[in-house]
Amino acid sequence: MPLTRIVILDFRNIKACDIELSTGFNFLIGENGSGKTSVLEAIYLLGHGRSFKSALTGRIITHGMAELFVHGRFLTPDQIELPIGINKRRDGSTEVKIGGQQGQKLAQLAQVLPLQLIHPEGFELLTDGPKARRAYIDWGVFHTENRFFDAWGRFKRLNKQRNALLKTARDYRELSYWDQELAILAEQIDQWRADYIAQLIAVAEPICQQFLPEFDVQMRYYRGWDKDTPYQDLLANNFERDVVLGYTVSGPNKADLRIKVAGTPVEDVLSRGQLKLLVCALRVAQGQHLTAQTGKQCVYLIDDFASELDSQRRKRLADCLIETGAQVFVSSITESQVADMYGDNYKMFHVEHGTIESM
Ligand SMILES: Nc1ncnc2c1ncn2[C@@H]1O[C@H](COP(=O)(O)OP(=O)(O)O)[C@@H](O)[C@H]1O
Ligand SMILES: [Mg+2]
């Protein structure tokens, strides 16, 4: 849901910033080190409760300050403006306020502000291990299935307990009782993910075609264990192996989205530039699907990325985003690098030494 205003206090090199935003495109223009990424990082913090660059709160609070604040106002799908805010202190404590109510959970921030980050290192989604792709799948499931968050949390807790029990268990009967609930959760989570991916593929395929017309990209969901075996049977069958290794080897915590071109993993076929375009297409697809399914709009944070695309592709990306009606933040060193992205609804901001001013 779009932000109409953002206030950032003591966040990296930003002492104080208070800007009215466009619900369409917001361009942040400034030199290296001026604070463009920090603005995107602050918005990301508001939607995730953490930074995309640093796990340590101490790193993002301005040197010498005790705490940071990021506040904003967002528009609900029925066009009501509500406040949202996060405050973090050096001891790691966090306070979240939404719609004037204190003590809200981080997951509620994510509900209000579905974010997609597109940045130059983003192709790790395709080249690294399955963890990032699971996060990609689960972003979509989280936003479209409201029972997912609790079920996944419960699954992770039970799985951890099971791994602890495996260290001492001598007979599968010691685990079978626990495995019943674990199996119900695993099958449910798998079903949600499979349904989501099936829907997403239908949206993503034509977008991938637009971005990479020379390739036929195929996506296939892998649930984390073999497709013909019920999870509870699998746990029983694998008991001895799991005991030897000291943890549960297969399951929804091993799920993946396998992305290939002509049967070969994309990272072995596509150039770095093409991988970046594919990531872009996948992120745009998720946003389009979210809006179609829930009426919620996603906020896109595009850091230093537009400048890496040629003019035609930059324009295509902007057109796709305009079509979804999403709010977009684009950082760039020069105005000319984003000039192909201007639509009807945009604002430009100049960033210099941590000061952000509307141009
Ligand atoms: N905790 C902090 N306190 C103060 N300044 C910081 C802190 N962390 C980073 N910085 C500085 O803030 C600036 C952040 O720049 P950044 O947002 O990455 O710029 P850009 O994206 O425009 O290149 C850098 O100059 C960096 O040295
Ligand atoms: Mg930057």
- Mean pLDDT of successive 10-residue segments in the chain (359 residues)? 97 97 97 97 95 90 97 92 96 92 87 93 92 96 96 97 94 93 98 98 95 95 96 96 95 97 95 91 95 93 85 89 92 91 93 96
Pocket test of ligand 1: the residue of 9, 12, 34, 351 to mutate, having most ligand atoms within 8 Å of its CB, is 12
CA 98 to centroid of ligand 1, rounded, Å: 27
Q: In which domain, by residue range, is 281 found? A: 121-294
Which of 277, 294, 311 is a domain's end point?
A: 294
CA 287 to centroid of ligand 2, rounded, Å: 23
CA 65 – CA 85 distance, rounded (Å): 18
44 and 181 co-located in one domain: no
CA 295 – CA 166 distance, rounded (Å): 45
348: domain CATH number?
3.40.50.300
The structural domain count of the chain equals 2
CA 32 to centroid of ligand 1, rounded, Å: 9
For the chain, give the number of residues. Answer: 359
**Looking at ligand 1, which residue's alpha carbon is closest to its atom 9?**
12
Ligand 1 atom at shortest distance from the alpha carbon of 41: 17
Ligand 1 atom at shortest distance from the alpha carbon of 32: 23
CA 139 to centroid of ligand 2, rounded, Å: 24
The whole-number pLDDT of residue 269 equals: 95
CA 38 – CA 51 distance, rounded (Å): 10
172 and 314 co-located in one domain: no
The whole-number pLDDT of residue 19 equals: 97
276 and 316 co-located in one domain: no
Which of 294, 312, 330 is a domain's end point?
A: 294
318 and 234 co-located in one domain: no
List the binding residues for ATP. Answer: 30-37
Q: Which residue has the tokens 């201007």?
A: 342
4 and 144 co-located in one domain: no
270 and 148 co-located in one domain: yes
The whole-number pLDDT of residue 309 equals: 83
CA 89 – CA 67 distance, rounded (Å): 4
41 and 60 co-located in one domain: yes
CA 162 – CA 139 distance, rounded (Å): 26
**Looking at ligand 1, which residue's alpha carbon is closest to its atom 6?**
12
**Which residues does 82 contact at the CB level (< 8 Å), separation at least 6?**
73, 74, 76, 98, 99, 100
Which of 294, 313, 330 is a domain's end point?
A: 294
* Number of the ligand closest to the Cα of 39: 1
**Looking at ligand 1, which residue's alpha carbon is closest to its atom 17?**
35
Residues with CB under 6 A from ligand 1: 12-13, 30, 32-38, 59-63, 351
255 and 151 co-located in one domain: yes
CA 50 to centroid of ligand 1, rounded, Å: 16
| End-to-end Cα spacing for the chain | 24
The whole-number pLDDT of residue 45 equals: 96
CA 26 to centroid of ligand 1, rounded, Å: 20
183 and 62 co-located in one domain: no
CA 134 – CA 37 distance, rounded (Å): 25
36 and 81 co-located in one domain: yes
20 and 109 co-located in one domain: yes
Pocket test of ligand 1: the residue of 8, 13, 39 to mutate, having most ligand atoms within 8 Å of its CB, is 13
Ligand 1 atom at shortest distance from the alpha carbon of 60: 1
53 and 141 co-located in one domain: no
The whole-number pLDDT of residue 46 equals: 96
Ligand 1 atom at shortest distance from the alpha carbon of 304: 21
The whole-number pLDDT of residue 104 equals: 82
Ligand 1 atom at shortest distance from the alpha carbon of 39: 17
